[in-house]
Chain A
Amino acid sequence: MSSTVAADLTPPPSGTVGRKPRGGNPLVRYIVVRFLLIFPTIFILVSIVFVVMRVIGDPITAAMGGRLTPDQLAQRIHAAGYDRPIIVQYVEYIGQVFTGNFGTSITDGRPIITIIGTYGGATLELAIYALIVALVVGIPLGMVAAYFRDRWPDAILRILAILWYATPVFFVGLLLKLVFSVWLDILPVAGRASTRTELDLDALPHPTGIYLIDAFQLGDPNAIGDVLAHAVLPGLALGFLTAGIFLRLTRTNVIGTLSMDYVDAARSRGVSEYRLVRKHAFKPALIPVITVIGLQIALLLGGAVLTETTFEWKGLGFELAQYLGSRDFVAVQGIVALLAVIVAVTNFIVDIIAALIDPRVRY
């Protein structure tokens, strides 16, 4: 997706220069232009978040409105600088963001960067589990569906994919909990680890915040098992959300490549059907899938907020929901802005990978 942006946006003044294949590798030029495009993107996102959050007035009134006297309130607002002209606050905010300062939460006074550092690992861990589930489930099934196009395996898989799509991630989570934690009683209901393991992990000298790595650091097999058991249901819930998308996408693209002449040619040379799908049709179909993985990061982050709430998985999403509940909009603004930056950077990385795989993407 972002590759089309880049194409639309051949930098206006240097556009004529860009036409000439003068000097340098086109890939390098693509990477540089694409990299420079991150900044306006981040700038726009952060500006939108700022404007939107200030339309409703100052955050201190929103958080403390009922609890302080008007005098105290005015004092707090003045101390935080929210009574200055909005444009001054905006310039200051943008400056802070570009130096990595996303503000300090009102309710508990923690800097947003600290919150991200503490809880980011948990969200990252969950997102990685989910991505693994999605790829392992979605891509092979998509290939099967494409190969058996319009026959019963395809029909079943497509209906399954639509069902996955139609089920909100928090409902999947509740169902999984109900079946595996309550009725079958084989997996933990919520949290990232049992209390004992959590205490052990926090006592580590250099905890990464990613519990699986920490559990390995601890070297206790029980802790590793405990951490993994807690990760199964959230990972599945969030993974299924994207698995359906990968399935549909792989199916459509493999169908496209399976009808190409070179696949017919390979088939007539006696290449086995398995090899045909696995090698000839799949590889070219992979490019759009990779690009979409990048887009899924946005979806995964959104889904993570809901999954974390369902499973009390103490990551960024869970914290975000807590701050929303306490109307701490500075914290919300900080977390949302930082997530936007993460999405922009991920999209950049994915675009570069896509360009490395497929020369046509470069310009």
Chain B
Amino acid sequence: MTEPVVVRRGSVWSRLPVLRQLRQSVGLQRGMLIVGLVISVAFVLTAIFAPILAPYGYAQLQDAQGNFGAQDPPGGKHLLGTTVGGYDVLSRVIWGAQTALLAIIIAVVLSVFLGILLGVISGYLGGWLDRVLVVIADAVYAFPTLLLAIVSAIIISGGQSNLWGGILASGVSITVVFIPQYFRVIRAEAVRIKSEAYVESAKVVGTSVLRIMLRHVLRNATRSLPLIITLNASEAIFTLAALGFLGFGIEPNSAAEWGYDLNKSISDVTSGIWWTSIFPGLAIVLVVLGVTLVGESLNDLADPRLRTRRRATGAPVTTADVSVVPGGTLDAVTITDGLEPRS
């Protein structure tokens, strides 16, 4: 990080992944990015502060005044009503954020790590290993996510569903599904970078293979990751919820999980009881919406064809807000800079 190249780009703030795009964006894209960020941050905070925010525990069935009623409509002591099993809906929705966040973290960390590792190795080394990995990645990629998740859930928890069993099952299954995606992207980049002049010269100088892979290939291959990570995160939530919905999720006394609650609400819906399904469902929608909005805006901003440009300058740098000089000679440099979003 001490090369002079870095200094040219301005302060650390303007280079942080998301903040940089936030400055770059305008209009609807900026709106989407901001809404997405707000929802995502609210979700993370809810997950962290669940013990303080939730009025009751996720498995709590009674308080000092006795048992909670079953299927009580929203209002009074239970703001969002109670479920068939007599749980407080609001509390379970809030606690569910914690489970969801854990599932996301595990899924993203595992698949980013393994996917990038395999992608760089396969792309840079090539040969038969590369061929075999590509065939396997493609076969897995074509496999229905949910079926793979079910199969992984069976191995990991053997069908038993405690907190970690359930979260790991969804995390690992998402990892299995997402490794091919990271793998493809990183591998394609690695293949391209491999033939760049700077890799050649590094070889000539006698740099070790490991160092070339880490320093030259990996560093330059990671630019489209933010988008895949957001996709990965929403898939993790979907899978966790889908497993829960199919009865392969986490038991209610181990943790709160939105998919499980939705499964228990199928019969409620038929008899017109709406609060047990609407609220956990909305929680899933909101979180995925937040993460997707962030990913979608980042994607648009990274693709010059899709980016809404700020008139003539379109530059991501701080001066862009101040000066709009169409055709100004000074800005000519900034324009090309702005069109090349990957620094």
Contact = CB atoms under 8 A, between A and B. Distances in A.
Interface stretch (A21-29, A164-172, A202-210): A164-172
Contact of B289 (A1, A162, A298, A301): A162
Nearest to B282: A171
B25 interface: no
A177 B271 CA distance: 11
Contacts of B241: 168, 170
Interface in A3-61: 5, 8-9, 12, 40-41, 44-45, 48-49, 52-53, 55-56
A255 interface: yes
Given A166-B285, A329-B154, A336-B150, A344 B248 contact: no
Contacts of A344: 139, 142
A55 B156 CA distance: 10
Interface residues of B, number: 55
A325 B247 contact: yes
B292 A162 contact: yes
Which of B139, B266, B269, B284 lies at the interface centre, i.e. has the most chain A CB atoms within 10 A of its CB?
B139
A48 B305 CA distance: 40
Contacts of A175: 277-278, 281
Contacts, number: 172
A128 interface: no
What is the predominant secondary structure among interface residues of chain A facing chain B?
Answer: helix
B158 A171 contact: no
Given A321-B246, A336-B150, A167 B145 contact: no
Contacts of B134: 5, 8-9
Contacts of B269: 174, 177-178, 182
B105 interface: no
B144 A327 contact: no
B147 A310 contact: no
B161 interface: no
Contact of A44 (B135, B274, B293): B135
A38 to B, nearest CB: 10
Contacts of A5: 134-135, 138
A309 B245 contact: yes
Contact of B150 (A45, A189, A324, A327): A324
B13 interface: no
- Give the contact-size bracket for chain A: 35 or more
Contacts of A181: 270
B281 A174 contact: yes
Given A150-B28, A340-B143, A306 B242 contact: yes
Interface in A271-317: 295, 298-299, 301-303, 305-306, 309-310
B143 A306 contact: no
21 contacts: A1-B142, A9-B134, A40-B139, A41-B142, A48-B143, A52-B151, A158-B296, A159-B32, A166-B284, A170-B241, A298-B143, A299-B144, A299-B145, A301-B144, A306-B246, A310-B266, A321-B246, A324-B150, A332-B150, A332-B154, A340-B143
Interface of A: 1-2, 5, 8-9, 12, 40-41, 44-45, 48-49, 52-53, 55-56, 62, 150, 155, 158-159, 162-163, 165-168, 170-171, 174-175, 177-178, 181-183, 189-190, 252, 255-256, 259, 295, 298-299, 301-303, 305-306, 309-310, 320-321, 324-325, 327, 329, 332, 336, 339-340, 343-344, 347
Given A48-B139, A295-B142, 15 more contacts: A41-B142, A44-B136, A52-B154, A62-B158, A166-B285, A167-B288, A168-B281, A170-B242, A174-B269, A178-B269, A178-B274, A298-B142, A301-B144, A324-B159, A340-B147
Please name the 7 residue pairs, one residue from A and one from B, whose CB atoms are nearest each other, closest first.
A302-B146, A171-B281, A166-B288, A302-B144, A44-B139, A166-B289, A298-B144
